[in-house]
Amino acid sequence: MKRRLLLVDDDLAVLLTLKTVLEFHGFEVETATSTAEALARLGSSTYQMVISDLRMETEDAGLRVLRAARGQNYDPATALLTAYPPSGEHWQGDHSDSLLIKPLGTKDLLRQLEALLVQHEDARQARLRIAAAPAQGSARKAG
């Protein structure tokens, strides 16, 4: 099964190049060229991962996209793509699981995305186990 991702970048050359590379390596890729387009896609489809450029219409438009992605009930992994990494750690936490610095070689990109997907799925499974633990404990006590 192909892994489905949303790729957001206002630079059409970067967007189409990354889309081609990722599709060649087994990803199903949808694209958006603006924050508004990305937000609409997030609400109408589901993705395993959302990758957004940081600087589009504004200096931090990509953070807005990733905040919206993290708010989806299908819980996609998120990555911020930028040639201008923000200083400090204000980009991380509520915004992104990973920071991808342009330019990025194909092997490095694929390695980072695969690692991010595995890490995100492991964290999601751990959250599900923690959420289920109190319910299982209550059932044992009642039995």
pLDDT of residue 136: 60
Q: What is the pTM (predicted TM-score) of this model? A: 0.80
Residues 49, 79: Cα–Cα separation, whole Å: 8
Contact (Cβ atoms closer than 8 angstroms) between residue 52 and residue 34: no
The predicted-structure confidence for 95-115, as pLDDT tens digits, reads as follows 677 888 877 789 988 999 989
> Does the pLDDT value for residue 39 go beyond 90?
yes
Q: Which two tokens stand for residue 91?
A: 């980009």
Domain 3-142 has CATH 3.40.50.2300: yes
Q: Taking residues 79-88, what's their average pLDDT?
A: 76
12: exposed, middle or buried (C-beta count within 10 Å: 0-12, 13-18, 19+)? Answer: exposed
